[in-house]
């Protein structure tokens, strides 16, 4: 069932939409253009859908409601929730079918990558006989003028088999699971990278990246839709990863990571964080990478209130030299604020990205380790608020024991 988000005002939106309808919508607030309207865009932001409803489907549902000429009157928050909930139920009732997402990955063909199942998606690398790559190539050729780049050569073929209601759901689920696999490999590689100086135009941080073009096919290999998914920010091909011994270590790291995820009470949140991590470090625009990493730092430290101070304090807790970490994080905060509020750029963005990445790496590994049986991301983050020295912790333990006696009526 669709619910309203607490940080939005669906009632005010419904009131404004009803007023526009009553006046014949002279400014197009409700009907807008062909693809969206102000009403539809704000409505989509006011609602939380079922987790299995894709972003594409959420847009389709809110657009259908917004453009419905026979929308029930008067328009109220309750009537909007009812309409969207009905369309959500209809979508969730659709039968699942088998689909394949076809793409490529920047791994050299001599490396053997085992077939892996992640989140219900089966990933097959170097598939020997998977029909559909010819149709993928043809669709790319037909769309080349709109896309504006050439496909990288030498990438390893990848087939992601998934069960889904629609091709769009298949693409979203498959790409999420592919990126979860890549996140484990790239995190293993990236945690050893403390700095980099490209000397020219910087490249993305990640070594193992996807092709910028993906298609969805039915079980027989025919295109399930003429829609394709592509990366508009793609700049140039990645160097092919070809180190067999290192890749063997990546597989061991990934196996351990997946094992830890299965035991994590807030597994879905950290899986989402890993996907955000790998996509942030895929970007060729390092300013974009920095802002995405900063957002992830705030998420991993659960620092919604007073985010800068809380995020900095909690991230610094990960390191022995907390004074140094506090200075570094303060500098990163200042850059983030200057860039966001004043558009102030810097020639040192590559160094800043690698500084920030160190803290995000440490936080991800801390959550994945979860050695203290935290029940939630918030509980793990509150642990980072504890005193930074053993002496202070021992003092707090003594005081907590006294407090327990006091509230028990013993003292």
Q: For a pLDDT cut of 70, what percent of the chain falls above it?
A: 98
Contact between 99 and 224 under an 8 Å Cβ cutoff? The reply is yes
pLDDT at residue 42 greater than cutoff 70: yes
pLDDT at residue 33 greater than cutoff 80: no
The gap from C-alpha 220 to its chain's centroid, in whole angstroms, comes to: 30
Mean confidence (pLDDT) of the chain: 93
How far is Cα 214 from Cα 217, in angstroms, rounded to an integer? Answer: 10
Q: What is the pLDDT averaged over residues 26-34?
A: 84
pLDDT of residue 344: 64
How far is Cα 275 from Cα 290, in angstroms, rounded to an integer? Answer: 16
The C-alpha angle with vertex 224 and arms to 218 and 229, in degrees rounded to 5, equals 115
pLDDT at residue 346 greater than cutoff 90: no
Q: How confident is the model at residue 400 (pLDDT cuts 50, 70, 90)?
A: confident
Tell me how crowded residue 382 is: count the other CB atoms within 10 A of its CB: 14
Q: How confident is the model at residue 114 (pLDDT cuts 50, 70, 90)?
A: very high
pLDDT at residue 31 greater than cutoff 90: no
Q: What is the pLDDT averaged over residues 128-147?
A: 92
Pair of tokens at residue 286: 């390092």
Q: What is the pLDDT averaged over residues 274-301?
A: 96
Maximum Cα interatomic distance, the chain, rounded to a whole number of Å: 81
pLDDT at residue 307 greater than cutoff 80: no
pLDDT digits (tens, 9 = 90+) for 316-328: 999 999 999 999 9
* Neighbouring-strand partners of residue 157: 104
pLDDT of residue 14: 96
Question: What are the two backbone dihedrals, phi and then psi, of residue 297, each rounded to the nearest 5 degrees?
Answer: -60, -45
Give the burial string for 62-71 (b: 16+ CB within 10 Å, else e).
bbebbbeeeb
* Cα dist from 159 to 162, 214, 317, whole Å: 10, 10, 41
* Neighbouring-strand partners of residue 215: 102
Q: For 113-117, 175-179, 306-310, which range has the lowest pLDDT when averaged over its residues?
A: 306-310
pLDDT of residue 71: 86
Q: What is the pLDDT averaged over residues 182-210?
A: 90
Q: How confident is the model at residue 411 (pLDDT cuts 50, 70, 90)?
A: low
pLDDT digits (tens, 9 = 90+) for 362-371: 999 999 998 8
pLDDT digits (tens, 9 = 90+) for 69-109: 888 899 999 999 999 999 999 999 999 999 999 999 999 99
Task: Give residue for tokens 């696999």.
Answer: 181
Cβ partners under 8 Å of residue 5, min gap 6? 45, 46, 47, 48
Question: What are the two backbone dihedrals, phi and then psi, of residue 210, each rounded to the nearest 5 degrees?
Answer: -85, 160
How far is Cα 173 from Cα 271, in angstroms, rounded to an integer? Answer: 13
Task: Give residue for tokens 């801390």.
Answer: 366
How far is Cα 3 from Cα 21, in angstroms, rounded to an integer? Answer: 24
CA nearest neighbour of 178 among 162, 199, 195:
162
pTM for the model stands at 0.93
pLDDT of residue 293: 97
How far is Cα 322 from Cα 183, in angstroms, rounded to an integer? Answer: 28
Q: What is the pLDDT averaged over residues 147-153?
A: 93
The gap from C-alpha 127 to its chain's centroid, in whole angstroms, comes to: 27
């Amino acid at each position: 069932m669709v619910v309203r988000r607490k940080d939005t005002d669906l009632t005010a939106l419904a009131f404004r939409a009803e007023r526009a309808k009553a006046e014949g919508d002279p400014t197009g607030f409700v009907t807008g253009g062909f693809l969206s309207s102000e009403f539809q865009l704000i409505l989509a932001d006011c609602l939380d859908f079922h987790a299995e409803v894709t972003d594409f489907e959420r847009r389709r549902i809110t657009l259908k409601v917004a453009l419905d000429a026979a929308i029930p009157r008067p328009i109220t928050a309750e009537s909007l929730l009812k309409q969207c909930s009905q369309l959500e139920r209809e979508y969730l009732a659709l039968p699942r079918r088998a689909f394949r997402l076809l793409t490529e990955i920047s791994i050299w063909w001599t490396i053997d990558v085992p077939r892996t199942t992640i989140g219900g998606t089966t990933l097959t690398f170097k598939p020997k006989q998977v029909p559909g790559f010819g149709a993928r190539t043809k669709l790319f050729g037909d769309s080349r003028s709109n896309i504006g780049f050439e496909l990288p050569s030498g990438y390893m073929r990848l087939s992601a088999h998934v069960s889904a209601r629609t091709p769009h759901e298949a693409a979203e689920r498959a790409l999420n699971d592919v990126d979860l696999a890549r996140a484990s490999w790239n995190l293993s590689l990236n945690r050893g990278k403390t700095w980099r100086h490209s000397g020219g135009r910087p490249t993305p941080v990640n070594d193992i990246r996807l092709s910028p073009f993906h298609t969805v096919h039915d079980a027989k290999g025919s295109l399930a839709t003429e829609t394709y998914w592509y990366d508009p920010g793609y700049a140039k091909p990645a160097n092919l990863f070809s180190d067999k011994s290192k890749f063997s270590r990546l597989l061991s790291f990934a196996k351990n990571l997946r094992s830890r995820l299965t035991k994590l009470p807030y597994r879905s949140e950290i899986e989402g964080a890993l996907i955000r991590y790998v996509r942030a470090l895929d970007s060729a625009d390092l300013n974009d990478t920095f802002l995405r990493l900063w957002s992830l730092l705030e998420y991993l430290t659960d620092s919604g209130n007073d985010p800068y101070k809380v995020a900095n304090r909690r991230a610094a807790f990960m390191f022995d030299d907390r004074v140094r970490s506090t200075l570094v994080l303060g500098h990163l905060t200042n850059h983030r604020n200057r860039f966001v509020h004043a558009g102030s750029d810097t020639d040192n963005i590559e160094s800043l990205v690698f500084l920030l990445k160190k803290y995000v790496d440490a936080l991800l590994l801390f959550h994945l380790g979860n050695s203290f049986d935290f029940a939630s991301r918030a509980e793990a983050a509150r642990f980072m608020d504890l005193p930074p020295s053993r002496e202070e912790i021992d003092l707090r333990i003594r005081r907590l024991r006294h407090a327990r006696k006091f509230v028990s009526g013993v003292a």
